[in-house]
A = this chain, B = another copy of it.
Amino acid sequence: MRLTTKGRYAVTAMLDLALYGDRGPISLADVSGRQDISLSYLEQLFAKLRRKDLVCSIRGPGGGYRLSRPVETIFVAEIIDAVDERVDATGCAGKSDCQDGQTCLTHNLWSDLSDQIHHFLSDISLASLVERRDVQNVSARQLQRARNTQSIILTAVD
């Protein structure tokens, strides 16, 4: 089992779309800027998210990505699944053949743990994240920072 930046980035980026995507598609460049994630890396993650039909893309200027379903129906667990992070603590991918064809001593312990984690993540929708106070606070801070950066750029142009 692993849960690294890959899964975290994917969820963060999807949440970014949920927060800002109500007025048309969001470019990965914008997500990259707001969330501090490398653009190339985001492209790779979104290729997977698109293959799993979690987002759809609009090419060309003004294009970007949109969530392909309402925020209430997209859950953290499927986002992590989509980018290939297995939320599975067993050594046998749940196949119960950990010790030459049979279950190992602790198979059911890891299997229970996997269920626990999966349950937890399957219950959290993008909609519920958007409503969280802490998410709103961080989002406000990021928007503020974006405005500052913008004004610095504008000043530099003058």
Interface residues of A (CB under 8 A from B): 1-5, 8, 11-12, 15-16, 35-36, 76, 89, 91, 99-100, 102-110, 112-113, 116-117, 120-121, 124, 129, 132, 134-135, 138-139, 141-142
Contact = CB atoms under 8 A, between A and B. Distances in A.
Contact of A105 (B99, B102, B103, B142): B142
Contact of A35 (B11, B36, B104): B104
Contacts of A112: 120
A142 to B, nearest CB: 7
B138 A12 contact: no
A77 to B, nearest CB: 11
Nearest to A119: B116
Contacts of A134: 103, 107-108
Given A8-B110, A116-B120, A105 B1 contact: no
A100 B35 CA distance: 10
